[in-house]
Amino acid sequence: MSAALRRFAASAVLVLLATSALAHDRTTSYSNWDIDGRRARVTARLSLLDASRFPWFFTDDGDMQLKSYLTERLRLFAGDTPCAVAGAPVRLDAPPERLVFEWRVDCPSEGDLSVRSDLLLDDAPSHLHFARVNRDGAPLLERVLSESERTWRLESTQGTNLPGYVLLGIDHILTGYDHLAFLLALLLIEASLWEVAKVVTGFTVGHSITLALAILGAIRPEAAAVEALIGLSIALVAGENLWLLGGRQRSVPWTIAAVLLALAVAATAGWGGVPALTLAGLALFALCYFQLLERVQNPARLRWGVAFLFGLIHGFGFAAILLEAHLPPARLVQALFGFNAGVELGQVAVVLLVWPLLVWNSRRARGRLLVEATSAAVLALGTFWFVTRAYG
């Protein structure tokens, strides 16, 4: 076994042991509050994946315990007094990967109303909760609640404003480990700041296009397929790094294309969450792209195109967090602009932090070893995400 292969195997083992926690960290839940006077109807939505965090969820009384958990952790207050739950929550019809519950609450006649969410914060401190309030016929307002701000005082605070969505975008990119892994894979072998600028610009343009199209309703891809393809994009770019550093063996592109075609054939039989045509298209793209790389002296000249292409896929991943919030049209443009601006600011911050370290490493005698090991780890990480999201 070659030294490079040994480094890859060791990196893969470490990553696979640690990744399950990372893949779960960025989670969201949602609630609607239809308030009429001192009474309210609550509708709460969370993912089946998030509910599976609880050890009791798959027990015989897991559904009952989840209902109790929701009413205890998602509450309406009148002053300091929690509003009483009027009857047991009812589970509503929802897509297979979602859980939706509805219940009613009655509030005391005195005290300013406030919404408080403690959902999932014990298990996932980075969890975000989108609360949307329709109160006595007034315009809809929404607010993002988190560990640092668990309570929304309805009498004295407005919904999330433009700076709030900017901060949400920054938080989303900084806690989006899959997006960060993709960005790192792109930066690892860039030789100049100009090449870095082109790659980052390609990624930015790509994800900005699909973020806008998805949120404005022009395109609605399957969320599960998008998340799986984000993992695949990470693996392919990291694999390209290793291929370039390892002498460009001709068998590698054909192996990648063959695996993707095999998965496409399996998808025609209903296996996995990624459409067969998508996988077949990626197989053709990978084969053509790697062969094109063999014909150019400076592969960095093509990387911006790959960053743009896969940026289109990542844009759908960025959009998912806002799509589930079902924002009213009047608030949508503000949320879209602020969120995208925050993503870009967070991305620039990551580049400014990582690039000087990569330049320093390139000047070291054994700098290439770190690039190979990091690329191998990112490859394992992307493969893990793709397999668990598409076939888990």
Euclidean distance between CA atoms 306 and 120, whole angstroms: 36
Share of the chain above pLDDT 90, in %: 42
Looking only at the bridges linking them, the beta strands covering 128-135 and 28-36 are parallel
Q: Which residues contact 245 (CB under 8 A, 6 or more apart)?
A: 189, 368, 371, 372, 375
pLDDT of residue 24: 41
Euclidean distance between CA atoms 121 and 124, whole angstroms: 5
pLDDT tens digits, one per residue of 161-176: 888 889 888 888 887 8
Mean pLDDT of 127-152: 88
Task: Tell me how far CA of residue 331 lies from CA of 32, 153, 172, in angstroms.
Answer: 16, 19, 19
Euclidean distance between CA atoms 61 and 314, whole angstroms: 38
pTM: 0.78
Query: What is the distance in angstroms between the CA of the first residue and the CA of the last residue of the chain?
Result: 30
C-alpha angle 48/51/53, rounded to 5°? 125
Euclidean distance between CA atoms 162 and 167, whole angstroms: 9
Decide if pLDDT at 16 tops 50.
Answer: no
pLDDT of residue 26: 62
pLDDT tens digits, one per residue of 187-203: 888 778 888 888 889 99
pLDDT-derived band at 260 (thresholds 50, 70, 90) equals very high
Euclidean distance between CA atoms 119 and 72, whole angstroms: 9
**If you count them, how many residues does the chain have?**
392
Mean pLDDT of 291-302: 80
Helix (H, G, I), strand (E, B) or coil at 181: helix
Closest Cα partner for 104 from 50, 32, 152?
A: 32
Closest Cα partner for 142 from 322, 263, 262, 10?
A: 322
C-alpha angle 169/172/177, rounded to 5°? 145
pLDDT of residue 299: 75
Instruction: Output DSSP code: residue 140.
Output: P
Mean pLDDT of the chain, nearest integer:
86
Task: Decide if 30 contacts 129 (C-beta within 8 A).
Answer: yes
